[in-house]
Amino acid sequence: LFLLISYGAGAQKSYTPTDAGSKVHFVIKNFGIKTGGDFSGLKGTVKFDPANLAGSYFDVSVEAKTVDTDNDMRDDHLRESDFFDVQKYPLINLKSTKITLSSVAGRYYVFANLTIKGVTKQVGFGFSATPKDGGYVFDGEFQINRRDFGVGGSSISMADVLKVSLHVAAK
């Protein structure tokens, strides 16, 4: 029995997130105007099986230096120490601690640790998982307070809370 359980747990398929077909997007108000940007450089491991959520997990990162707001001067500033400090903290990481069924039919809920600039905070959010091309596409969104992670200093022109939207393809 132990061997069967061990085999079943080890047989769960592992997926790799890809930049192709993925989008890691954020929106924040700056001077009262919504400003958005994207990150790329997705890497990590996803194990997902709707029939075995206890054995499923996400450990996914993006490269902080890839921040792209369609404004090179702003992007360069965001890479500096008062924002993402990409030289010292090259990755932004999301690592799940638990995945459950959501109260919304056909959706799931992830509890995770989000690490930005060496600061780790718990986040939780609903997401969908759509099978595609031998893998999955995961869609979800959550809000964070940038000050919790030491991003942007004490800027009063920039909102504290921002929204992060994830559309992650994993094969």
The 10s digit of each residue's pLDDT in 85-104 is 999 999 999 999 999 999 99
Q: Given this model, what pLDDT does residue 145 score?
A: 97
- Of 5, 42, 147, 151, nearest in space to 89 by CA: 151
Q: Given this model, what pLDDT does residue 142 score?
A: 98
Distance of alpha carbon 22 from alpha carbon 18, whole angstroms: 7
114-131 pLDDT, tens digit per residue, is 999 999 999 999 999 999
**Residues sharing a CB contact under 8 Å with residue 17, sequence separation 6 or more, in sequence order:** 42, 43, 44, 46, 60, 168, 169, 170
Q: Given this model, what pLDDT does residue 117 score?
A: 98
Distance of alpha carbon 14 from alpha carbon 11, whole angstroms: 9
Under-50 pLDDT residues of the chain: 1-10
Q: Given this model, what pLDDT does residue 153 score?
A: 87
pTM, entire model: 0.91
Q: Given this model, what pLDDT does residue 11 score?
A: 57
Q: Given this model, what pLDDT does residue 97 score?
A: 98
User: What is the DSSP code (8-state) at residue 90?
Assistant: -
79 has which bridge partners? Answer: none
**Residues sharing a CB contact under 8 Å with residue 54, sequence separation 6 or more, in sequence order:** none
Structure tokens at 26: 């954020």
Residue 83 gets the label, from left (phi > 0), alpha (psi -120 to 50) or beta, of: alpha
